[in-house]
Amino acid sequence: MNTTMRFGEKSLLAAALGLFALTGLATQPAAAEERAKDLFGAEKLPTATSAQSIGFYSKGCFAGGVAIPLDSPTWEVMRPSRNRRWGHPAMIALVEKLSRDAVADGWPGLLIGDIAQPRGGPMTTGHASHQIGLDADIWLTPMPSRPLSMAQRESMSATLMVDEKTHLVKDALWTPAHTALLKQAASYAEVERILVNPGIKKKLCDTVKGDRAWLRKIRPFWGHDYHFHMRIGCQPGSPNCKAQEATPDDDGCGKPLAWWFTQEPWRPNKNPDAPKARDLMTMANLPKECRAVLDAPGPASAEAATYHGDAVPVAVAAPEPEAPSLPATTVSGAGELPSAANAFAATPRMGAPVPRPRPSAK
Ligand SMILES: [Zn+2]
């Protein structure tokens, strides 16, 4: 089945961006106060354009997203009602590849958590990042042998792999297959970072023998105790994608990891009610091109933009030559957020799993 987007549509975003460049400044003030998370959270479909990530993982959006199908023999999408199974085609292709490689390696299949909203941007709940289609959460719970119904995918709990008091991995739950899955994900050149709970990082540091170079990509972070978070780098055709700093060259098992096993990272947040960056961002905080992304036309249906692995990812096939390249300063957005707003501050616990960053005092 050919689900590649029609070529005629590819120029639409470029056209929208070009138009915006001429008229954008005049239209900015009226739109500036709208909460970006409400606007992006309301989008049901991606733009029907070539793929492009715009801005930074925690401050941006993306065009030309594709959806991963709800299931296949090697994966199942969890919490499908959230409609967060969208990503840059390179990200979706890689998740699919990981699922096949993992199954070949003995893992039963992937349970896929949040990737991104159809056009990215800040989310209505959860995650600080996942905004430019290059982040994906994958559960550390193996796919059950019997297919999960859509209702089960909404309600099934993930397995907490880490003791919340000691911050150490629960040894009864951790298996060599978990290690192999993370190693497989880290082996891909596109993958720049994999975020895991510090307890999981420590488990790997303590047990991985032989090749340890891949541990460099495994980064400890709050939460991430029932899933890991796979992040790929900026892809071709995304001149306004802002790369993240490279990880240090060592395995990260020394001092920086030891810090996580002190009191400091776990002290209650002094100001748990301080607003989160994602709750405050307006369109003025995002790169200007994100307005054009909101306004660009979408495909006829979600199915029309679902990736079935039978097409070269749009971004790879046709990097958009006319895409405007703006100076890096515009990427951080015109409006600065209050200093109390931290893109990585705690977010409220929801009924469904989301990353749990630094705990708040409660
Ligand atoms: Zn994540």
Does residue 360 lie within any of the structural domains? no
Residue 195 Cα, ligand 1 centroid: separation in angstroms?
8
CA distance 318 to 232: 19
Give domain status of residue 272, yes or no.
no
Determine the distance separating the centroid of ligand 1 and the alpha carbon of 134, expressed in angstroms.
10
Residue 228 has pLDDT above 90, yes or no: yes
Cα(222) to centroid(ligand 1), Å: 11
Q: Is the pLDDT of residue 343 over 60?
A: no
CB atoms within 10 A of CB 15: 14
The rounded Å distance from CA 7 to ligand 1 centre is: 32
Q: Is the pLDDT of residue 113 over 60?
A: yes
Instruction: Give the tens place of pLDDT for each residue, 69-84.
Output: 999 999 999 999 999 9
Query: Do residues 12 and 280 touch, judged by C-beta distance below 8 A?
Result: no
Whether 143 has a pLDDT exceeding 90, the answer reads yes
**Residue 328: phi, psi to the nearest 5?**
-55, -25
Distance 224 CA to ligand 1 centre (A): 8
The predicted model gives 17-31 an average pLDDT of 41
Half-sphere exposure of 65 (CA within 13 A, CB side): 38
- Order of strands, sheet of 191-196, starting from the edge strand that comes earlier in the sequence: 71-72, 75-77, 110-112, 135-139, 227-232, 191-196, 218-220
Q: Which residues constitute the domain of residue 192?
A: 7-261+280-332
pLDDT-derived band at 357, boundaries 50, 70, 90: low
**How many other CB atoms sit within 10 Å of the CB of residue 4?**
17
The alpha carbon of 212 and the centre of ligand 1 are apart by a number of angstroms equal to 24
- Ligand 1 centre from 124 Cα, in Å? 14
pLDDT at 145 exceeding the cut of 90? yes
* 344, part of any domain: no
Query: How do residues 293-328 score in pLDDT, each as one tens digit?
Result: 999 999 999 999 999 875 544 433 344 434 433 333
What's the CATH number where 60 sits? 3.30.1380.10
Distance CA 282, CA 151 (A): 34
For 63, 188, 253, 342, 355, the CA distances from 307, given in Å and listed in that order, are 15, 20, 37, 34, 26
**343 assigned to some structural domain:** no
CA of 220 to the centre of ligand 1 (A): 13
Indicate if the pLDDT at residue 148 is higher than 70.
yes
321 vs 194, more confident? 194
Instruction: List phi, psi (to 5°) of 191.
Output: -75, 125
Q: Give the number of domains in the chain.
A: 1
Calculate how far, in angstroms, residue 45's C-alpha sits from the geometric centre of ligand 1: 21
| Locus of tokens 């009602």 | 81
The first and second tokens of residue 179, run together, are 């290690």
- CA angle (126, 279, 199) in 5-degree steps: 35
Quick one: pLDDT band at residue 157, thresholds 50, 70, 90? very high
- State what percent of residues in the chain have pLDDT above 90: 69
Identify the residue with better confidence: 277 or 262.
262
Place 9 in a pLDDT band, splitting at 50, 70 and 90: very low
The lowest-confidence range among 206-210, 292-296, 350-354 is 350-354
Question: Cα(84) to centroid of ligand 1, in Å?
Answer: 11
57: CA distance to ligand 1 center in Å?
Answer: 10
Render 116-167 in DSSP notation, one character per residue.
B-TT-SS-SSS-S---SS-EEEEESSPPPSSPPPHHHHHHPPPPP-B-TTT-
pLDDT of residue 311: 54
Is residue 357, in this structure, part of any structural domain at all?
Answer: no
| pLDDT per position as a tens digit, 236-249 | 999 999 999 999 98
Q: Name residue 178's amino acid.
A: H
Q: What's the predicted TM-score (pTM) here?
A: 0.79
Give ion ligand 1 contacts, CB < 5 A.
Answer: 137, 229
Confidence grade of residue 275 (pLDDT, cut at 50, 70, 90): confident
Q: With a cut of 80, say whether residue 102 has pLDDT above it.
A: yes
Give me the mean pLDDT over the 54-63 stretch. 97
Q: How confident is the model at residue 276 (pLDDT cuts 50, 70, 90)?
A: confident
Q: Are strands 59-63 and 75-77 parallel, antiparallel or unpaired?
A: unpaired
Nearest Cα to Cα of residue 282 among 53, 84, 47, 38: 38
CA of residue 135 to ligand 1 center, whole Å: 6
Residue 342 belongs to a domain: no
Res 279: pLDDT: 83
Number of helices and strands in the chain (H, E): 10, 11
User: Looking at residue 15, what is its pLDDT?
Assistant: 42
What residues form DSSP beta bridges with 360? 269
